[in-house]
A and B are shown apart, each in its own frame.
Chain A
């Protein structure tokens, strides 16, 4: 298996522009997670899905952020409009059924820079 796939790997954009990050989870995994990582705050869970349904989006910072999972093999995280403080590395992770010890497998991340 190729693991969790994310695109793009790097994104540089101007403030106010729309940004769309993409993720393909590991085939067969029921859970998909979106995280943001910064030097100051470390890894933060933004939202996670179970069987394509959003379960907890309490970590989404504000209405500018939205996430979708139209099918089991694809998810997007969208920021509109983007702001410089959104600059961070965004990780997507997936895991199998939750059994307390299920490992989350992380993608390589998308490094976002908003100018």
Chain B
């Protein structure tokens, strides 16, 4: 069983609308949780990073939240733009073996005009 589960698998929204992507994880204890954005044909790029003691982190129109008790994170995108169309990957770094990251399979977001 994957230790990082993301939902939904894919999502289509209208330009200008908001959306929320979910990440549930079982990795414990963990050092930090990161959201990556991966445009088609490119490598992932880091959007936000949160340690286990942080609840929220923003990067422009992207806001990530973390509930370490329930082991859930979400990525909220406000006022979506066509350029937000991409895959969003949740990545958890454990406290031990710090370079062995656990990746979710991603949510594919499509923003349509």
Interface residues of A (CB under 8 A from B): 4, 31, 33, 41-45, 48, 55-56, 91, 93, 98, 100-101, 103-104, 106-109
Q: Quick one: which of A44, A91, A101 has the most chain B CB within 10 A?
A: A101
Interface 9-residue window, one of B15-23, B61-69, B75-83, B97-105: B97-105
B24 within 8 A of A: no
Beyond A42-B105, A42-B106, A107-B43, is A100–B89 a contact (Cβ under 8 Å)? Answer: no
Task: Please state if B89 and A43 are interface contacts (CB–CB under 8 Å).
Answer: yes
> What are the residues of chain B within 8 A of A104 when measuring CB–CB?
46, 101
B51 near A: Cβ within 8 Å?
yes
CA distance A101 to B91 in the complex (A): 12
A-side contacts of B105, CB under 8 Å? 41-42
Interface of A is mostly: strand
**When chains A and B are docked, how far (Å) is the Cα of A41 from the Cα of B106?**
10
Q: How large is the interface on B (under 10, 10 to 19, 20 to 34, 35 or more residues)?
A: 20 to 34
Contact A100-B98, Cβ < 8 Å, known A42-B103, A42-B104, A42-B106? yes
* A91 and B43 form a contact (CB under 8 A): yes
Q: Are A100 and B31 in contact (CB under 8 A)?
A: yes
A109 touches B32 (CB 8 A): no
Chain B residues contacting A93 (CB-CB under 8 Å) are 43
In the bound assembly, the distance between CA atoms of A91 and B97 in angstroms comes to: 20
Which of B22-51 touch A at CB < 8 Å? 31-32, 34, 41-46, 49, 51
CB distance from B9 to the nearest CB of A (A): 10
CB neighbours (8 Å) of B44 from chain A are 43, 91, 106
* The one of A55, A56, A100, A107 that contacts B32, using a Cβ cutoff of 8 Å: A100
Question: CB distance A4 to B98 under 8 Å?
Answer: no
A41-B105, A42-B106 in contact; A98/B41 too (CB < 8 A)? Answer: no
> Are A108 and B43 in contact, CB atoms less than 8 angstroms apart?
yes
How far apart sit A33 and B15, CA to CA, in the bound complex (Å)?
36
A108 touches B41 (CB 8 A): yes
A sample of 16 more A-B contacts (CB under 8 A), given A42-B104, A98-B99, A106-B44, is A41-B105, A43-B44, A43-B103, A44-B103, A45-B99, A45-B101, A48-B99, A56-B99, A100-B32, A100-B98, A101-B31, A101-B51, A104-B46, A107-B43, A108-B42, A108-B43
